[in-house]
Amino acid sequence: MNPEQARKVIFEVLGDIAPEVDESAVDDDLDLTEQLDLDSMDYLNWMVGINEMTGVDIPQRDVSKFLTIAGAVAYLVEHSTEPVG
C-alpha cells in the first residue's frame, strides 16, 4: 500500500464516523481525537474500520501510532502486505 492508498482508506473510514470532516482542513501531525472531537468509541471504531478494510492488525501496543493521520499512514504503509482491494 502506498501513502495515497493508505490516506484514502483512513479518510473513507473517518467519513463514516465524522461525516462533516473536511479532509483538507485536517492537520496530519496533530492529535486526531482533539482535532476532530472523537471520543474513545469513535477512535476504536475508526481503527476497527481500517483493520477491516486493509487487513492490517493493530495490536494494543501500536494504538498510539494512530493518534495522527501521519502516524496512521506510515503504519499502514509499513504493515500492509496486500494491495487494497
Partner 1 sequence: MIDFLLPSLGADMDRAKLNMWLVGPGDPVHKGQIVAEVETEKAVLEVECWDEGVIEELLVQPGPEWLPVGTPMARIRSVEPAEAPRSPETPAAPSQKPLPARPPTRRPREVAPPVRHLAHELGVDLSTLIGTGPEGTITRQDVHAAASPLVTPATPTPPRAEPRVKASPRARFLADSLGVDLARVSASGPGGMIRAYDVESAPPAAPEPEDKVTAMRRAIARSMSHSKREIPHYYLATHIDLDEAMRWLELQNAERSISKRILPAALLLKATALGLREIPELNGHWIDDGFRPSPSIHLGVAVSIREGGLVAPAIHDADQLDLDEMMERLRDLVNRARSWRLRSSEMSDPTITVTNLGDRGVETAFPVIIPPQVAMVGFGKVVDTVVAVDGSPSIHPVVHATLAGDHRVTDGHRGGLFLATIDRLLQEPESL
Q: Report how many residues bind partner 1 under the rule CB under 8 A.
A: 18
Cell of 17: 464516523
Decide: is 61 part of the binding site for partner 1 (CB under 8 A): yes
Range in contact with partner 1 (rule: CB under 8 A) among 3-11, 17-25, 71-79: 17-25
Interatomic CA distance for residues 77 and 23, integer angstroms: 19
DSSP label at residue 23: G
DSSP label at residue 82: S
Q: Which of 8, 45, 53, 79 binds partner 1 (CB under 8 A)?
A: 45
Interatomic CA distance for residues 35 and 40, integer angstroms: 13
Q: Which of 57, 64, 82, 85 binds partner 1 (CB under 8 A)?
A: 57
User: CB 30 → partner 1: shortest distance, Å?
Assistant: 15
